[in-house]
């Protein structure tokens, strides 16, 4: 068993027990994590992760929780947030080196201001660099992986640089499950600062106009099936506005589900199930979840599989 005092002897940043995850997920749902940590430095982070590894204690990394659906029962083990200890973005020769806890907004701004192109389409995605690497986040035909050179991870206690070719990037996924992403390095082509800034602004305006950003949500719930769009399939199935408890299929964007206030994860799971079954009956297409469910019972997992 791990005691609070064991962790506090290593981590001088925030360490909390039974911390409600609804505070840290973008959709504002999720029960308590046994431990929630925000290490104060990279050294503290690595030391505590190695300590958990040696004690075979379950650990989960979290960025801004903008792609996480956490169960009402919460998370057994430790949840570790690196926003506080890994937030730097610097030039490393001709590469942009971004630490995992840096916000994507800051990363995009850093690149645009230096006339470095190829990541401006990530503007408006509310995650961290680490979350974007693991999820291979993307938009408007571009993905985080496009210009990555290599990624530094903590893998089974060892610090390793993984080359892009070995990272198994695919649509909204990577081969980093089980690793802790620390840093990602990007080589970006030159672009015109004003044109990049204009493009970034247009993309953010488009998001504001088409996404229900006024309510807590998780972005796109489902991956777009090949040659199709999840939002179109959901809308055609007449599901816009469908509600379970306080969870609702957004009226503004059918591939978003919103929390109208006090929604439970169980409501969201039931709504996901209704959407998938209805779309399947109508179109023969089974939508695949884009968001990551965490901490669910076997019964709930069956609805999300």
Ligand X SMILES: Cc1cc2nc3c(=O)[nH]c(=O)nc-3n(C[C@H](O)[C@H](O)[C@H](O)COP(=O)(O)OP(=O)(O)OC[C@H]3O[C@@H](n4cnc5c(N)ncnc54)[C@H](O)[C@@H]3O)c2cc1C
Q: Which is nearer to ligand X, 207 or 277 (CB)?
A: 207
Measured CA to CA in angstroms, residue 267 lies from 177, 229, 248, 263, 300 at distances of 27, 24, 9, 6, 11
Please tell me the distance from the alpha carbon of residue 8 to that of residue 224, in angstroms, as a whole number: 43
What is residue 23's DSSP assignment?
G
| Residue tagged active-site, from 103, 172, 199, 276 | 172
126 binds ligand X (CB under 6 A): yes
**246, two tokens:** 């306080």
137 binds ligand X (CB under 6 A): yes
Please tell me the distance from the alpha carbon of residue 165 to that of residue 3, in angstroms, as a whole number: 40
Choosing from 15, 21, 29, 61, the residue that interacts with ligand X (CB under 6 A) is 61
> Minimum CB separation from ligand X for residue 139, in Å?
4
295 binds ligand X (CB under 6 A): no
Choosing from 11, 132, 196, 254, the residue that interacts with ligand X (CB under 6 A) is 132
Residue 216's contacts (CB-CB under 8 Å, 6 or more residues apart) are 26, 27, 28, 29, 258, 259
127 binds ligand X (CB under 6 A): yes
Residue 81's contacts (CB-CB under 8 Å, 6 or more residues apart) are 24, 36, 37, 38, 61, 62, 63, 101
> Minimum CB separation from ligand X for residue 81, in Å?
8
Catalytic annotation on 220? yes
Site string for ligand X, 154-183 (x = CB under 6 A): ------------------x---x---xx--
Please tell me the distance from the alpha carbon of residue 218 to that of residue 66, in angstroms, as a whole number: 5
Q: Which is nearer to ligand X, 261 or 284 (CB)?
A: 261
250 binds ligand X (CB under 6 A): no
Window 26 to 45, contacts with ligand X (CB under 6 A): 26
CB 303 within 8 A of CB 286: no
Q: How wide is the angle at C-alpha 143 spanned by C-alphas 64 and 193, nearest 5°? A: 90
46 binds ligand X (CB under 6 A): no
Window 172 to 231, contacts with ligand X (CB under 6 A): 172, 176, 180-181, 211, 213, 217-219
99 binds ligand X (CB under 6 A): no
Residues labelled as active-site residues: 172, 220, 290
| Residues found near ligand X in the complex (CB under 6 A) | 26, 60-68, 82, 100, 125-128, 130-132, 134-135, 137-139, 172, 176, 180-181, 211, 213, 217-219, 292
């Amino acid at each position: 068993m791990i005691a609070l005092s064991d962790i506090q002897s290593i981590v001088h940043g925030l360490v909390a027990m039974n911390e409600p995850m609804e505070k840290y997920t973008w959709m504002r749902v999720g029960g308590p994590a046994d431990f929630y940590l925000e290490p104060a430095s990279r050294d503290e982070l690595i030391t505590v992760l190695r300590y958990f590894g040696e004690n075979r204690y379950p650990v989960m990394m979290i960025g801004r929780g903008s792609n996480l659906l956490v169960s009402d029962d919460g998370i057994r083990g430790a949840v570790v947030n690196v926003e506080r200890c890994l937030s730097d973005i610097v030039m490393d020769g001709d590469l942009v080196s971004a630490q995992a806890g840096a916000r994507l907004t800051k990363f995009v701004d850093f690149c645009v201001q230096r006339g470095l192109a190829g990541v401006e389409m990530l503007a408006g995605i509310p995650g961290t660099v680490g979350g974007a690497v693991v999820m291979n986040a993307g938009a408007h035909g571009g993905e985080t992986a496009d210009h990555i050179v290599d990624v530094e991870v903590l893998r089974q206690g060892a610090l390793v640089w993984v080359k892009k070719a070995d990272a198994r990037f695919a649509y909204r996924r990577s081969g980093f499950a089980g690793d802790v992403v620390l840093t990602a390095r990007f080589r970006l082509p030159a672009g015109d600062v004003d044109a990049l800034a204009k493009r970034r602004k247009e993309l953010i305006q488009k998001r504001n106009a088409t996404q229900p950003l006024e309510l807590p949500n998780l972005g796109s719930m489902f991956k777009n099936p090949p040659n199709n769009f999840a939002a179109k399939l959901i809308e055609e199935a007449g599901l816009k506005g469908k509600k379970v408890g306080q969870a609702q299929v957004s009226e503004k964007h059918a591939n978003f589900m919103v929390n109208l206030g006090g929604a439970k994860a169980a409501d969201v799971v039931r709504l996901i199930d209704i959407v998938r079954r209805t779309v399947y009956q109508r179109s023969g297409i089974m939508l695949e979840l884009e968001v990551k469910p965490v901490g669910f019972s076997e019964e709930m997992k069956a609805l999300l599989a």
